[in-house]
Structure 1
Amino acid sequence: MPEIIDKNRWLIGAFVLVGAALALLPLVASSYTISFLLLMFANVALATAWSFFSGATRYISLATASFFGIGIYTLAITHVYIPVGLALVAAAVISFLVAIVIGLSTLRLRGVYFVVFTFGLTELVHQVINWWEIKINKTATRYIFSDVSNVTIYLTLLAVAFITIVGSWYVSQSRLGYALRAIGEDETVARHTGINTTWVKVLCFALSASAMALVGATLALRYPYIDASIAFNNSWSFQVLIAALLGGVSRYWGPMVGAIPLVLLSEFLAGTFPHHFSIALGLCFVVIVYFIPGGLAPLIESYWYRLRDTLRTKKAATA
């Protein structure tokens, strides 16, 4: 770890400075800006968590809404009995355990079969929770009694996004990251080289799921009440997928790059064309597939290297 930190000292310093500036922003920003940015942090954290597992292994998961909803319901149920902070931890832990069970039983699937299963998982959990709430609890909604401020939610989601990005970056430089990429390239070869592919896949799938649940639980603090349709909304799965692909899953910072313009687009459409967001998502997907299949991150990186080389050449010529 010290070697990785020493090699990327300037990058870590810049990231810490940006994080500190964003943490101090509520002192001067309006309530609208805080609400907008916390939603952006949520999308950045979700897209990064999705890419952490699916981007590296190429197991395309549409289960984001499942774990997001599990986090919301865990918070809604437990915050009445324990402090909100512990309820957030409980959401991450429960989602981690659920993801381990799901991963052990389904990560043997590949390709379209895994995609279809993860998409159906959200609907399955949605219907089970809906049935339980109506038949057993005799109500379709759960009220959230919390006086947590928008600033606290903002800082919590900033911390979650920060930890998710840093964790994704650190793992990408470690043996676990190399194992994930080896699985994505050729799982059979990875297994023959001595990688415990089952353990690696299940662990990373569960870590990704716990981050998604933590985001869902934190966002739930903004709602006066929740129900199964709010918690298990499949649009989260598709929005996170498109954000990650738009930014580029080949770089740990790519999903962050993709999530920011997507949130800006959704904010614009929410006020201008509130019923056309799904069409915009479809258009984004078409643009990504046909024009930027690798995402924005490799293009930005390529432009940066060309600019750096040009500046170095000019400097050498001047000298």
Structure 2
Amino acid sequence: MAKLIKKFWRLEEACFQDWEPKQHDECEAESHFRTTLEIAPDGRYITRMPLRGEPSSLGDSYQQAYRRFTSLEQRLKRNADLYKEYRAFMNEYETLGHMVPVTTEDFHKVKYFIPHSCVVKPDSTSTKVRVVFDASAKTSTGVSLNDIQIVGPTIQKDLFDLLIDFKTHNDVLVADIAKMYRQIHIAYTDTWLQCILWRDSPNDQLKAYRLTTVTYGEASSSFLACRALHEAAEDYRSVNPRIADTIQRSFYVDNLMIGASNADELTETKREIEHALSLHGFPLRKWASNNASVLEGIPEKDLEPLIQVGDQEVIKTLGIAWNPKTDVFQFISTKNIGSKLH
């Protein structure tokens, strides 16, 4: 018995030691978010990066960013279509103000350069080429931006629970937030920690840019984006507590999945969620439903297009296929042979 008790306490102590630092980081991330959050004139949130280390620990990052950019540029020059898509992505980034040029006078303020590349998603119904940022790239001191960021807690519902809840309703609706991460501003001071190199053509001068929004590829970005979404719900709680709760329990990152007992209730829920999120710059798009009446009045460009898979028309959501007409989930293999989940 004594041996069992000693073993129990050793296990308890080990669990506590494993969990405590993570718990501390989660509390730090939440406290940091609450105390530094601001609201921009356009209603969008302005957040600070939650850091566990000092930016002064970062060494030179320019040389690696420069080498990786020139390598990327050579790759793009060999693929005209990819280069065109990459340019379009970056031009949109700049047009929207999500990246702004760094002047020669301010170049010394840059604290970290993030290398970037792209992933190609041929089955995407919106962006085929997505630029990704590597904030795990080590500087000359062996420390990266991600090394000094706090990851933050997972605050959204488990995916399996979300899917199960979705299947309990008669009428259902899905959508996602357009450019979710980039709807949240990063405080000016922290933008110097997320700079990149870019030029539209090898004949142009290479320029430095500051990324002004939450950036995909940074350790804290998922937490910041999901936490801002929860904050938008909290800000709406005094107006409608039910809608605030629905927003907080019905998203998986940027994917919304809601349901109701009838089309009228679902349409009203949709309307209020749209309104609540629009107040803080989270526009919803890619709508799909198993009840066509719920989609009435939505512009064609904001509807999720159906994909033909075998003899069925489906949409892709959360990594699986869903047939809105039959309200059936389908797991698609590389040979387009799927197993159904009713």
The TM-score bracket by the shorter chain reads under 0.3
CA radius of gyration, larger in: 2
Task: Kindly indicate whether structure 1 or structure 2 has the higher relative contact order, using CA contacts under 8 Å at least 6 residues apart.
Answer: 1
Q: Write 1 or 2 for the structure with the bigger share of strand.
A: 2
